[in-house]
């Protein structure tokens, strides 16, 4: 079992480092093993239509939607067609030695030697790679070098890698030409159960002058699976029980009026879940963060979203470099057993106890989350299995659940 | 641009509706089959909506002072003669004034005079006289129930109070004492003290007061499916890029899902989405005051609200610099200002068809809600003289 010290003795320095990493990330790509709830998820499965879950939360109906970031949230650098790797402070000979360690084929190493262009930059040793190099790499080659970047050059890794939601490219056929999806498939690779792409510049260059398809590709790569959910409120609904669940012990008091009102409206049988969420969650639901939310050193991330779930307005204080226990250790209590609406779940790496991700439990497998600090990732209701599809790579993790105290 | 809100006197509706004998069935009657209504189709698409009552948080409702069951009217006048004269000027028939005064107790002191009518006199006042009398009383601050009467948007009292468990005697009293609004839409009720006579215990007092404090609102949904004209709908709801963040969700629903109808809370900008159907929290009054109509209108498209209010010195300058007068057809997000003479008494935000986003008071009992524009006008038009002016965010 993990030690509580792993969480509560976390220093400001560590939190700063984490936050810094978040701020620079396009996507937090953390390290997990599937929990029991995830074991049944099949990568590539793409359910459609209405789904239903029943429990103490009542009867929830939900639909999957795919949110793409608006153009304003996709910055110019995403459209660069320069393919390169950054090796940080190591020497060229060391980098070449890595290729052998990564088990690159001799022909690939020869190709890199012949066509790759090495340069020393302020950011470290860089290698520009050609389309032929990209096309010669196997998924295993990509996974190996991605693993090294993640361990040794986390910032570059975060900029390079895109994890595809739900672990497959099926949804891209709704948006992209079949040939483009095939192209994405040709360079995608698995890291554990996560499907990743690191050759975005190559993909863009292959689309030539088809600017619309390039835009569609970038939007599609950053698309996020979300849910639109609604609660059934009909003649047999137990309003007291529903209010008890969704008011979260008085932390979300407004739901009583909504639930009672909907029940009293003849012919109406549902209420959208947006009305059952507390103010901050409602404000950001299915939306993207604004420049109003950021400060020069940090941007809202998963923890920012989870911590303020029950708040009436988001606090800029939560962007400050505080230790994780600053709030969790005082305004929350760790709770064992069954989770309920509004519980904050923090995920830690089993190997070293490092914080990886946090989300809010909503009901059953439905969670409220912001996957990483990227501007391109919205705050959403989604299935835990969808959320984990971008986190669940080679490593193991554990979870701890925290419940906000009433009045904090 | 100024619109004149037509004044339609609907006194006859009282007899047929609120005051009619058939208007007061038991509140245990079976519910109507369907409360869903459809909007007129327009560039906003196809909307349906239904009404629900919002009840404020218990801790807020507990702040309400329970009034005496003795009806008393305050006048800033010193003698009976002055009162009679003032009421005549309001157009109240002389014989009714005489009866009123003859059957009331008058107490005069240094701060003015108070008239206490008996029950029989109170209940016999004809609706048209009640409208004039109470409009006059509403100009005096001490008459709090006349200054801000309860607004009923339906002649069917039992429907309006559905789910409140109010006894039939209270519903009957409401039906008897409600009077038409000056704008002709809906009814006002100011005789809250009289209703207290029906309460035999403190829980019953709270039951009545809580029922009167309910705030009806509309829940509105947009039809959105594969047959929808996505370009037209996103164009309308993104309000000229001022609300462009709604596009991804709308596009996704049309492209990939069979949601069918989406609650328009999803199509509101972040700030009104956060506030919709909520009452102000204590934290929102920490600067010394709570958000009012101008705060709500001005911040509709703003991600981070600015604390400006209806009486802020910069209000008109902000309107002049950040908004421009708008002509029909009105667009999502337009600000509708309700003016009484030269006074701006309220403002709300146009959403679609005849539905607006509004906060009808600066108090903690006034939630942010969706209403019909005609109901917003009726709610605020205490004197029957409201004109509307429409402005669009630049």
pLDDT digits (tens, 9 = 90+) for A178-193: 999 999 999 999 988 8
Question: Does the bond joining B319 to the residue before it have cis omega, within 30 degrees of 0?
Answer: no
Cβ of B248 and A68 within 8 Å?
yes
For residue A289, give how far its alpha carbon lies from the nearest alpha carbon of chain B (Å): 10
**Does the pLDDT of residue A30 top 60, yes or no?**
no
Nearest chain A residue to B59 by CA: give it: A253
Cβ count near B6 (within 10 Å)? 10
For residue A40, give how far its alpha carbon lies from the nearest alpha carbon of chain B (Å): 23
**Which of B27, B211, B224, B256 to mutate to test binding with chain A, by most A CBs within 10 Å of its CB?**
B256
Cβ of A262 and B52 within 8 Å?
yes
Q: Which residues from chain B sit within 8 angstroms of residue A174, using beta carbons?
A: 255-256
Which H helix or E strand runs over A185? helix A178-187
Q: Using CB atoms, which residue from A265, A286, A287 is nearest to B52?
A: A265
Q: With contact defined as beta carbons under 8 Å apart, do A390 and A165 qualify? A: yes
**Which of B55, B211, B248, B305 to mutate to test binding with chain A, by most A CBs within 10 Å of its CB?**
B248
Residue B257: per-residue pLDDT: 66
Q: Are strands A124-128 and A117-121 parallel, antiparallel or unpaired?
A: antiparallel
Q: Which residues from chain B sit within 8 angstroms of residue A283, using beta carbons?
A: 270-271, 273-274
Percent of the residues in chain A that have a pLDDT greater than 70, as a whole number: 88
Cβ count near B45 (within 10 Å)? 21
Which residues have CB under 8 Å from B219's CB, separation 6+?
A: A261, A262, A265, A268, A271, A275, B49, B50, B51, B52, B263, B370
Q: Which residues from chain A sit within 8 angstroms of residue B255, using beta carbons?
A: 66, 174-175
Cβ of B265 and A274 within 8 Å?
yes
Residue B34: per-residue pLDDT: 64
**Which of A268, A316, A407 to mutate to test binding with chain B, by most B CBs within 10 Å of its CB?**
A268
Q: Which residues from chain B sit within 8 angstroms of residue A253, using beta carbons?
A: 57
Which comes out higher in pLDDT, residue A32 or B394?
B394
At residue A165 the predicted structure's pLDDT band, cuts being 50, 70 and 90, is: confident
Residue A22: per-residue pLDDT: 34
Q: Which residues from chain A sit within 8 angstroms of residue B52, using beta carbons?
A: 258, 260-262, 264-265
Q: Which residues from chain A sit within 8 angstroms of residue B273, using beta carbons?
A: 274, 282-283, 285
At residue A48 the predicted structure's pLDDT band, cuts being 50, 70 and 90, is: low
Q: Which residues from chain A sit within 8 angstroms of residue B369, using beta carbons?
A: none
Cβ of A312 and B247 within 8 Å?
no
Rounded Cα distance, A144 and A158, in Å: 15
Residue A172: per-residue pLDDT: 87
Q: Mean pLDDT throughout A202-228?
A: 93
Q: Which residues from chain B sit within 8 angstroms of residue A292, using beta carbons?
A: 303-304
B317-358 confidence digits (pLDDT tens): 999 999 999 998 999 999 999 999 889 999 999 999 999 999
Cβ of A257 and B304 within 8 Å?
no
Rounded Cα distance, A273 and A61, in Å: 10
Cβ of A282 and B32 within 8 Å?
no
Angle between helices A211-221 and A178-187 (to 10 degrees): 50
Cβ of A262 and B34 within 8 Å?
no
Cβ of B266 and A290 within 8 Å?
no
A308-359 confidence digits (pLDDT tens): 999 988 888 888 888 888 998 899 999 998 999 999 999 998 888 888 899 9
Rounded Cα distance, A179 and B246, in Å: 29
Cβ of A64 and B54 within 8 Å?
no
Low-confidence ranges of chain B (pLDDT < 50): 1-32
Cβ of B277 and A68 within 8 Å?
no
Q: Give CA A227 to chain center in angstroms.
A: 15
3-state secondary structure chain B: CEEECCCCCCHHHHHHCCCCHHHCCCCCCCCCCCCCEECCCECCECEEEEEEEECCCHHHHCCCCCCCCCCCEEECCCCHHHHHHHHHHCCCCHHHHHHHHHCEEEEEECCEEEEEECHHHHHHCCHHHHHHHHHHHCCCCCCHHHHCCEEECCCCHHHHCCCCCCCHHHHHHHHHHCEECCCCCCEEECCHHHHHCCCCCHHHHHHHHHHHCCEEEEEEEEEECCCCCHHHHHHHHCCCCCCHHHHHHHHHHHHHCCCEEEEHHHHCCHHHHHHECCCCCHHHHCCCCCCCHHHHHHCCCCCCCCCCCCCCCCHHHHHHHHEEECCCCCCCCCEEEEEECCEEEEEEEEEECCEEEEECCCCCCCCEEEEEHHHHHHHHCCCCCEEEEEEEEC
**Which of A254, A315, A381 to mutate to test binding with chain B, by most B CBs within 10 Å of its CB?**
A254
pTM of the shown model: 0.83
Rounded Cα distance, A59 and B256, in Å: 23
At residue A96 the predicted structure's pLDDT band, cuts being 50, 70 and 90, is: very high
**Which of A60, A218, A267, A278 to mutate to test binding with chain B, by most B CBs within 10 Å of its CB?**
A267
Which residues have CB under 8 Å from A352's CB, separation 6+?
A: none
Q: Which residues from chain B sit within 8 angstroms of residue A267, using beta carbons?
A: 32-36, 50
What number of C-beta contacts closer than 8 Å exist between A and B?
140
Residue A293: per-residue pLDDT: 86
Q: With contact defined as beta carbons under 8 Å apart, do B52 and A239 qualify? A: no
Cβ of B247 and A70 within 8 Å?
yes
Q: Using CB atoms, which residue from A63, A254, A274 is nearest to B259?
A: A63
Rounded Cα distance, A243 and A156, in Å: 47
Token pair of A33 as six digits: 């093993």
Percent of the residues in chain A that have a pLDDT greater than 90, as a whole number: 55
Angle between helices B80-89 and B94-102 (to 10 degrees): 150
Q: Which residues from chain A sit within 8 angstroms of residue B35, using beta carbons?
A: 265-268
**Which of B215, B252, B255, B368 to mutate to test binding with chain A, by most A CBs within 10 Å of its CB?**
B252
Q: With contact defined as beta carbons under 8 Å apart, do B315 and B294 qualify? A: yes
Nearest chain B residue to A225 by CA: give it: B252
Cβ of B251 and A68 within 8 Å?
yes
Q: Which residues from chain B sit within 8 angstroms of residue A67, using beta carbons?
A: 248-249, 252
3-state SS, residue A177? coil
Dihedral sign, Cα of residue B379, residue B382, residue B386, residue B392: negative
A281-290 confidence digits (pLDDT tens): 999 999 988 8
Rounded Cα distance, B69 and B200, in Å: 11
Cβ count near A274 (within 10 Å)? 23
Closest to B245 in 3D by CA, of A248, A292, A24:
A292
């Amino acid at each position: 079992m993990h030690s509580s010290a792993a969480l509560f003795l976390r220093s400001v320095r560590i939190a700063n480092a984490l936050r810094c990493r978040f701020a620079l990330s396009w996507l937090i790509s953390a390290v997990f093993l599937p929990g029991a709830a995830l074991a049944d998820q099949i990568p590539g499965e793409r359910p459609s239509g209405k789904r239903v879950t029943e429990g103490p939360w009542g009867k929830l109906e939900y639909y999957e939607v795919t949110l793409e970031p608006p153009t304003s949230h996709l910055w110019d650098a995403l459209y660069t067609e320069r393919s390169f790797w950054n090796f940080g402070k190591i020497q060229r000979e060391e980098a070449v030695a890595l290729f052998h360690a990564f088990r690159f084929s001799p022909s690939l190493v020869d190709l890199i030697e012949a066509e790759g262009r090495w340069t020393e930059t302020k950011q470290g040793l860089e290698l520009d790679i050609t389309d032929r190099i990209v096309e010669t790499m196997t998924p295993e080659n990509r996974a190996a070098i991605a693993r090294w970047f993640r361990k040794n050059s986390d910032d570059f890794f975060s900029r390079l890698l895109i994890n595809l939601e739900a672990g497959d490219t099926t949804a891209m056929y709704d948006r992209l030409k079949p040939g483009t999806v095939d192209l994405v498939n040709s360079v995608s690779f698995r890291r554990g159960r996560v499907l990743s792409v690191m050759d975005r510049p190559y993909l863009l260059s292959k689309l030539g002058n088809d600017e619309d398809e390039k835009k569609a590709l970038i939007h599609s790569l950053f698309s996020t699976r979300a849910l639109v959910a609604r609660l059934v409120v009909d003649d047999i609904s137990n309003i007291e029980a529903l209010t008890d669940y969704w008011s979260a012990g008085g932390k979300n008091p407004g739901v009583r009026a909504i639930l009672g009102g909907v029940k009293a409206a003849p012919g109406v049988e549902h209420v959208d879940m947006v009305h059952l969420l507390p103010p901050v969650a409602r404000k950001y639901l299915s939306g993207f963060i604004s420049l109003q939310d950021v400060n020069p050193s940090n941007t809202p991330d998963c923890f920012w979203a989870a911590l303020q779930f029950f708040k009436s307005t988001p606090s800029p204080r939560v962007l400050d470099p505080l230790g994780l226990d600053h709030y969790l250790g005082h305004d929350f209590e760790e709770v064992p057993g069954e989770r309920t609406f509004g519980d904050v779940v923090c995920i830690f790496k089993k190997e070293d106890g490092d914080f990886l991700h946090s989300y809010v439990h909503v009901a059953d497998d439905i969670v409220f989350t912001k996957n990483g600090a990227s501007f391109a990732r919205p705050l959403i209701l989604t299935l835990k299995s969808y959320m984990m599809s971008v986190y669940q790579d080679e490593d193991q993790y554990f979870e701890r659940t925290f419940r906000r105290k009433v009045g904090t | 641009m100024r619109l004149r809100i037509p004044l339609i006197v609907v006194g006859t509706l009282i007899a047929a509706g609120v005051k009619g004998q058939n208007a007061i069935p038991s509140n245990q009657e079976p519910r109507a089959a369907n409360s869903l209504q459809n909007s007129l189709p327009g560039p906003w698409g196809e909307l349906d909506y239904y009404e629900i009552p919002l009840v404020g948080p218990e801790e807020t409702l507990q702040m309400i002072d329970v009034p005496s069951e003795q009806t008393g009217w305050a006048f800033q006048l010193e003698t009976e003669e002055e009162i009679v004269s003032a009421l005549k000027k309001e157009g109240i028939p002389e014989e009714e004034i005489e009866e009123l005064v003859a059957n009331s107790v008058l107490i005069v002191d240094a701060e003015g005079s108070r008239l206490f009518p008996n029950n029989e006199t109170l209940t016999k006042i004809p609706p048209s006289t009640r409208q004039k009398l109470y409009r006059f009383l509403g100009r005096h601050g001490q008459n709090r129930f006349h200054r801000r009467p309860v607004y009923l948007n339906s002649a069917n009292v039992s429907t309006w109070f559905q789910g409140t468990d109010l006894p039939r005697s209270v519903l009957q009293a409401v039906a008897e004492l409600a009077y038409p609004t000056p704008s002709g839409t809906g009814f006002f009720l100011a005789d809250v003290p009289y209703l207290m006579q029906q309460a035999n215990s403190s829980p019953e007092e709270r039951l009545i007061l809580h029922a009167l404090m309910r705030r009806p609102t509309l829940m509105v949904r947009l039809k959105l499916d594969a047959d929808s004209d996505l370009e037209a709908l996103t164009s309308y709801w993104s309000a000229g890029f001022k609300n462009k963040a709604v596009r991804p969700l709308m596009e996704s629903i049309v492209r990939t899902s069979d949601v069918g109808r989406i609650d328009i809370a999803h199509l509101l900008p972040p700030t009104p989405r956060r506030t919709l159907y909520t009452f102000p929290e204590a934290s929102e009054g920490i600067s010394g005051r709570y958000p009012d109509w101008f705060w709500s209108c001005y911040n509709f498209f703003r991600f981070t609200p600015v604390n400006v209010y209806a009486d802020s010195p910069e209000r008109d300058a902000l309107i002049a610099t950040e908004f421009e007068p708008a002509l029909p057809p009105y667009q999502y997000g337009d600000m509708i200002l309700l003016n009484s003479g030269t006074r701006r008494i309220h403002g709300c935000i146009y959403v679609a068809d005849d539905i607006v986003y509004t906060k009808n008071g600066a108090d903690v009992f006034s939630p942010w809600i969706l209403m019909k524009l005609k109901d917003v006008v009726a709610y605020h038009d205490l004197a029957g003289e409201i004109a509307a002016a429409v402005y669009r965010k630049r």
